A and B are shown apart, each in its own frame.
Chain A
Amino acid sequence: MVGECLVDLNGRFKLVTGRTLIQGMGKERGKFTEEYLKEISICELDPEDMKLLSIVEGELIIVKTEFGEAKLVAKASTRAPHRGVIFIPYGPVASLLTSPHTDGSGMPSLKGIEAEVFKG
């Protein structure tokens, strides 16, 4: 159930990518600006999951999926609780982790992807 711990000891998570206000403003400012590049390199985690994995705010972490891996900066989510769910804003870093499979729909899987989180 949501709110309870969905995380097993192997650190398996569900990755959700999406829009944030800062990412949206950043892309209008420019795809090579510091504001944009900083925002697309964060990974939001539930603060309780961060405690469980001994990850602190601002720490480098590695997120791995079946499709790739990426180094990101850990950020405590302000949208918690969402145990077992991690969030990365849309952009080239999130794209390293997303699935090209479309299941016959044309739509690659950009949300709800199995992921693992490691200390960087």
Chain B
Amino acid sequence: MLIRGVVCTVCGCCCDDLNVEVVDGRVERVENACSLALSKFKHHSSDRILKPLMRKGNGFKEAPYHEAIREAARLLVDSNYPLLWGWCLTSCEAVKLGLELAELVGGVIDNNSSVCHGPGLIGVQDIGISGCSLGEVKNRADLILYWGSNPVNAHPRHMARYTAFAKGRFEASRGDRKLIVVDVRRTETAKLADEFYQIEPNSDYELLTALRCAVNGEEMELNTVAGLPVERVEELADSLISCRFGVLFYGLGLTMTYGKSRNLDAALSLVRDLNRKTKFLIMPMRGHFNVTGSNEVFTWVTGYPFGVDFSKGYPEYNPGITTISDVLRREECDAALIVASDPIAHLPSSLADTLKKIPMITVDPHRTPTTEASRIVIPSAIVGLESTGTVYRMDGVPLECKKILNPPPGVKTDFEVMSDLLAEVKGLLR
């Protein structure tokens, strides 16, 4: 059976034009998939967790589902300040239940954006954002600027579907669009660019500020900026001003480096300045398929996009205080619920070591370094393959994922696991 219009659940592009042929409950063929998506469809069943696991000595023992839920609920209720983390490789419906749970147990709930595009969200709160949908970019943009982003590796279909190589209504071919890349290395994306500006690491703020000067017609009494001769900075500013419809796509090269949210203040301000001269927009290159959705649901429910602390009984947001890295650095949490994330592999190791010291409950389809370090592991179905669910594309467009396969026998969806956990916690608190 060929299932058309399947939403890909890998990166923030959420490509919704995949055609998947399913034969005897297995994926036989996938059309329109990038190499990341192909790897997911081909290997989704490898290294799966099929039964709930509970820590016994140095190993695990299989446990009945309801026992695992009961123990997980007890751990969270007995905890003084639990951390609820992840929420970006799952559905919006599961995220909503996670927020309700965080409020009930008085914990701190944070999502992956605090270690990826969180600084951009802080920048948006400071400055505001000139945004649009990717459809507008595809149809109208004649200048594409990737800054600290390498979509060839991280978002392989972004350029073909929406930017440089997309066939739009008004900008129909590669020749109609100028592609500019700013990065610290000549990446695969940079090699495709019409203009490439190679800058020194940690100098993004400096260059963005200089560009604002150039765009606003101010003289710069400098020879070089960020490793570039000042003439090249002026050349870049001229390119940005002279387009009809420009878009700046920024990656983690801007959010994870020196300056962090201040880099985004500068980038958002540059785009604001450019709008006095031409039409210009800005968009983050979101990594996980539903990190945008997680921010949306967090914001609807609490008013804040990530790093929300319920320990006082009401939502409090203070990046640098109520975010995963900071609560772990202060060693404040005494239990953790991890949903669809692998912080042990990806957090700086000193933070991962702190996390390993506290009891972790992990809900995940696959075995990861985090599940290996957990006290309780509850398997889950893969969103977009084995369960439906709402996800948000990087431009904020919601998409409904399809269920194209059955999960392994007895394995529940994130939504079902969170519903059962929430009901158990409510029972214990009654």
Contact = CB atoms under 8 A, between A and B. Distances in A.
A85 interface: yes
Interface residues of A, number: 47
A64 to B, nearest CB: 13
Q: Is the interface of A mostly helix, strand, loop or mixed?
A: loop
A16 interface: yes
Interface in A63-120: 67-68, 77, 79-82, 85, 87, 90-92, 95-96, 98-100, 102-112
A95 B255 contact: no
A65 B326 CA distance: 20
Contacts of A12: none
Nearest to B323: A106
Contact of B43 (A29, A67, A80): A29
A48 B324 CA distance: 39
B320 interface: yes
Contacts of B40: 28
B295 interface: no
A111 B329 CA distance: 19
Given A29-B39, A110-B252, A16 B201 contact: yes
Contacts of B199: 2
A3 B188 CA distance: 18
Nearest to A31: B368
Q: Closest 10 A-B residue pairs measured CB to CB?
A: A106-B323, A104-B320, A106-B319, A28-B39, A25-B39, A79-B185, A112-B202, A30-B47, A112-B201, A14-B201
7 contacts: A28-B10, A28-B36, A67-B350, A96-B349, A99-B348, A104-B319, A111-B253
Interface of A: 1-3, 6, 14, 16, 18-21, 24-26, 28-33, 67-68, 77, 79-82, 85, 87, 90-92, 95-96, 98-100, 102-112
Interface of B: 10, 35-36, 38-40, 42-44, 46-47, 110, 114-115, 118-119, 122, 150, 152-154, 156, 184-188, 190, 198-202, 224, 227-229, 252-253, 255-258, 260-261, 287, 306-307, 319-320, 322-326, 328-329, 342, 344-352, 366-369
Given A18-B253, A19-B287, 18 more contacts: A1-B224, A1-B228, A2-B228, A21-B36, A30-B43, A31-B342, A32-B47, A32-B367, A67-B350, A81-B186, A92-B346, A100-B350, A105-B320, A106-B114, A107-B114, A108-B325, A109-B256, A111-B252
